[in-house]
Amino acid sequence: MIKRIWIPLVIVLAAATATGVYAGMFSFLKKYDVLLFPSVEGRLTNQGEPLAGVEIIREATYDEVEAETVETDAEGRFSFPEWTTRSNTPGKPLIEARLRQVVAAKYEGEYYILWQYTTDRIDEEPVISDLLKNLDCDIANEEIDHYFPIPDNPQFDHIIGSICRWKTSS
């Protein structure tokens, strides 16, 4: 009797493992590469004059809130390298994860939003990567929402809150 149950059970488990069903059942344990930020390059000014020594904060919220800082150089320039993490969140069932990106400048006790964006993507978005490599930010600018078309989904836009300006923004 036990042999009759045991043999089919072993066959089913072997088939599930071989077909990838087993892997799909436990995908919530798998770790995925998550791109928190592509590389960031920008310049901070005040009415066109470069701001040196200003703290720039880059913050990513995915599984948890993480942040890092740099200071602007003599020409007001700053940069951050690409930032990735490993997470099992993309494989969790019934989870609609969001990545929140913020870049802010702290100048004379005030915070200025250079970049604020939320997405459900965990890989590179070329439009976003291009924009983050060209942050032209003046603290005299009003913070506004910028709308950029999503190439693979043209009925929707990326919405970025920022004091920065891009030639293609509306």
What pLDDT, on a 0 to 100 scale, did the predictor assign at position 170?
A: 44
Tens digit of pLDDT for each residue in 131-152?
999 999 999 999 999 999 888 8
* Nearest Cα to Cα of residue 137 among 98, 108, 103: 103
pLDDT(6) > 80: no
Q: Which residue has the higher pLDDT, 156 or 7?
A: 156
Tens digit of pLDDT for each residue in 67-101?
999 999 999 999 999 999 998 888 888 777 889 99
pLDDT(19) > 70: no
Terminal CA-CA length for the chain:
74
Helices and strands counted in the chain (H then E): 3, 12
Domain 31-162 maps to which CATH number in 3.90.79.10, 1.10.10.60, 2.60.40.10, 1.10.8.80? 2.60.40.10
Q: Do 47 and 140 touch, CB atoms closer than 8 A?
A: yes
Q: Which of 68-72, 88-92, 105-109, 116-120 has the lowest mean pLDDT?
A: 88-92
Distance of alpha carbon 120 from alpha carbon 125, whole angstroms: 11
Spans of all domains in the chain: 1-30, 31-162
The pLDDT > 90 percentage for the chain reads: 60
